[in-house]
């Protein structure tokens, strides 16, 4: 009980002792403020409904490849990334009602089945989590402007309990 109160007092003291613009420019003060803010933030608050959550749109990205799940077993979703041929950066954002998190993984599609080599994954949490990965979009044929990469998104529900969640993949040019 004393620890949150002590941290709150420390946060107020740090804020009061810091000149107006210093918190923005001093990396040590900013890191300390972020740490204290994270320590006093409520961790066990009830999650918002995944149906209400949408990842922010990233400027310059293509439309997101998104879906939702509500299941007590593994969930799989099929999408096709359409982009200029070559290397692209994928941004995967996912959220779940599972308090321990759920793995959301992206695989290439092998004739409709999940391929063996995982492209990327993220551990979805109640607050949402983001990961970046890279994939290569193959050229379809001569003169084609866009290539297509079929993918499978696998929500690996290891606990066997019913959870809901959603994810969104956005495609960006490789850095």
Among 15, 6, 19, which residue's Cα sits nearest to residue 33? 15
Residue 84 pLDDT > 80: yes
pLDDT tens per residue across span 38-79: 333 333 333 344 444 444 443 334 457 999 999 999 999 999
Neighbours of 153 (CB within 10 A): 24
Q: Among the residues of the chain, which ranges form H helices?
A: 2-17, 22-25, 27-40
Please give the angle made by the CA atoms of 69, 132 and 136, to the nearest 5 degrees.
100
Rounded mean pLDDT, 142-168: 91
pLDDT tens per residue across span 90-146: 999 999 999 889 999 999 998 888 888 999 999 999 999 999 999 999 988 888 889
Rounded mean pLDDT, 14-39: 43
CA distance 172 to 101: 26
């Amino acid at each position: 009980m004393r620890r949150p109160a002590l941290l709150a007092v420390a946060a107020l003291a740090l804020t009061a002792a810091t000149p107006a613009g210093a918190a923005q420019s001093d990396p040590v003060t900013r890191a300390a403020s972020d740490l204290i803010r994270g320590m006093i933030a409520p961790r066990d608050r009830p999650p918002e409904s995944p149906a209400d959550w949408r990842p922010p749109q990233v400027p310059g990205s293509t439309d997101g490849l998104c879906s939702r799940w509500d299941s007590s077993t593994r969930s799989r979703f099929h999408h096709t990334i359409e982009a200029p041929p070559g290397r692209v950066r994928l941004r995967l954002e996912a959220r779940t009602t599972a308090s321990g998190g759920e793995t959301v993984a992206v695989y290439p599609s092998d004739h409709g089945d999940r391929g063996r080599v995982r492209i990327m994954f993220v551990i979805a949490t109640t607050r949402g989590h983001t990961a970046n990965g890279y994939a290569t979009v193959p050229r379809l044929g001569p003169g084609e402007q866009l290539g297509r990469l079929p993918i499978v998104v696998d929500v690996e529900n290891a606990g066997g309990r019913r959870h809901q969640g959603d994810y969104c993949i956005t495609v960006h040019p490789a850095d």
